[in-house]
Structure formats: C-alpha cells, structure tokens
C-alpha cells in the first residue's frame, strides 16, 4: 500500500493546537468573586424537615 507519502490532514506544522490559545494563569474574566448568599436556615435542620440522621438506629 502506497499511502505513506500522503500528508495527514490533521498534521499541524506548528505542533498540537489546544482549545486554550490565550491561556492565562490568572483568574478567567467570566468568573467573578464568590457570591455569599444570605441563606438563613429556618430551624435546626436546614436541609430537610424530617428527623435527623441520629434519630434512627444504625441499620448494621
């Protein structure tokens, strides 16, 4: 088979091209400071209104 002389269509002469040509070690411009939302838990159980995990006996 004489296909070794054909140039590869994806062979880049300047090396592998990644999807981050303007990569910077600083923070990206689209990521702002962390937002601290004023979430106040209504009671002692902020996740679910049911009984806590300590109210059940260990299954094992």
Instruction: Note the pLDDT of residue 39.
Output: 65
Dihedral (CA of 20, 22, 27, 31) sign: negative
CB distance 52 to 45 below 8 Å: yes
Q: Which of 40, 42, 45, 41 is nearest to 55 (CA)?
A: 45
Q: Decide: pTM greater than 0.85.
A: no
User: In the prediction, which pLDDT does 3 show?
Assistant: 53
Query: Can you tell me which residue has the tokens 């902020």?
Result: 46
pLDDT tens sequence across 3-16: 556 565 655 556 66
């Amino acid at each position: 088979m004489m296909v070794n002389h054909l140039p590869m269509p994806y062979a880049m002469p300047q090396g592998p091209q990644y999807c981050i040509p303007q990569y910077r070690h600083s923070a990206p411009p689209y990521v702002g400071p962390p937002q601290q939302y004023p979430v106040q838990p209504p009671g002692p159980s902020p996740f679910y209104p049911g009984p806590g995990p300590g109210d059940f006996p260990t299954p094992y």
